[in-house]
Amino acid sequence: MSILVELPPQLYSPVAFAAFDPASGFSIGNARAMMWFSQLAYETGKPGTIAEVAPVWGFTAVTPFVRRNVAIAASFETCGLIGERPDAVVLAFAGTDPAVWETLATDINVRLTADRDTHIGFQSALDAVRPEIGQAVRQSRQSRPLFVTGHSLGGALAALAAQHADGLPDAATPRAVYVYGMPRAGGVRFSAAYNATLGPFTYRLVHGQDIVARVPMSGLGYRHVGRVLACGSGERFDAAALSAAVTDEPQFSKALLDGVVGGIAGVFRGHILSPPGPGPVGPLLRFLPQAIRDHLPDRYYGALAG
């Protein structure tokens, strides 16, 4: 991971887990906690940040993991965390880092696997960390529920990991799967199988015009999983808006694409398009088109602020 996705420790919310309740169903408090832990998953290269933030959130142990493959046909860098609290185990995956070409290569490898009907890039990245998933499952068997979470690419990996965990011998079915700005991870067969078991307690949050949450397109044979909770750009998430059933929304549209293209053209004309963000590169985020800016982590944890 790089400076483009990392945050200094002082920018992490000290009350991110204040309303976390592992015994509840969907809640904004749980969504807020999982989004912040998804952000922390971007810090696998900054162990000092993890060590400083995790105890404040009530974690007794946090184990980072990084698996990398630079082969041209199947490149990936899968980063994440296994967090242990007295009341829960949390498995989180980091998303795409624009400065790490392996994560970009994972995203664009969009063929569907023949056997699993899943995005081949995401599946390769997930298969590399099966031992870590097994570790999280074993830890959760100690009378603690398992939560799985991730942002962006990390959301797709979280869904695949939840399905893998659910299929292990003596499986620990996740208590909940919280994903943010998640791209579609598989096709019709994958979606149907996933939703039959995990769909009702997979919560897929979409902020504003987030373009990543709309790709790969349904027209290519992809389908979303889980229930969706959406909010407008710059607005707050409202638990009452959570869909009652699983859904393939939101869809990609030509208008959204035109907005991205027009926004990029506006950057070259010096137009400021979006609000700044946190961290060292935060001021530069003002020049991103809204559909890209709405995807970034700070837009999600900002929309979940207490």
pLDDT at position 274 is 79
Tell me the chain's radius of gyration from C-alpha atoms. 18
Residues in the chain: 306
Counted domains in the chain? 1
Instruction: Pick the closest to residue 94 from 76, 112, 110, 75 (CA basis).
Output: 76
Q: pLDDT band at 301, cuts 50/70/90?
A: very high
pTM of the model: 0.94
Residue 258: inside a domain? no
Q: Tell me whether residue 284 is in a domain.
A: no
pLDDT of 149: 98
Torsion angle of C-alpha atoms 222, 225, 231, 233, degrees rounded to 10 = -40
Q: Does residue 281 belong to any structural domain of this protein?
A: no
Residue 273: inside a domain: no
Residues 146, 140: contact at Cβ < 8 Å? yes
Distance between CA atoms of 55 and 74, rounded to whole angstroms? 36
Q: Is the pLDDT of residue 34 over 80?
A: yes
Calculate the average pLDDT of the chain: 91
Is the model's pLDDT at 269 over the cut of 70? no
pLDDT of residue 270: 55
What are the tens digits of pLDDT across the range 105-127? 788 888 999 999 999 999 999 99
Q: Is 269 inside any structural domain?
A: no
DSSP state of 160: H
pLDDT of 266 > 70? The answer is no
Mean pLDDT of 114-141: 95
Query: Is position 36 within any domain?
Result: yes
33-42 mean pLDDT: 98
CA nearest to 156, candidates 122, 197, 196, 105: 122
pLDDT (tens digit per residue) in 177-187 = 999 999 999 99
Task: Assign 173 a pLDDT band (cuts: 50, 70, 90).
Answer: confident
Residue 56 covered by a domain: yes
205: CATH? 3.40.50.1820
**Mean pLDDT computed over 192-216:** 97
Average pLDDT, stretch 256-262? 63
**DSSP letter assigned to residue 184:** P
Residue with tokens 């290269």: 45
In whole angstroms, what is the distance from residue 278 CA to residue 36 CA? 14
- pLDDT higher than threshold 60 for residue 97: yes
Does 301 fall in a domain? no
Provide the domain limits for residue 194: 9-250
pLDDT reported for residue 133: 96
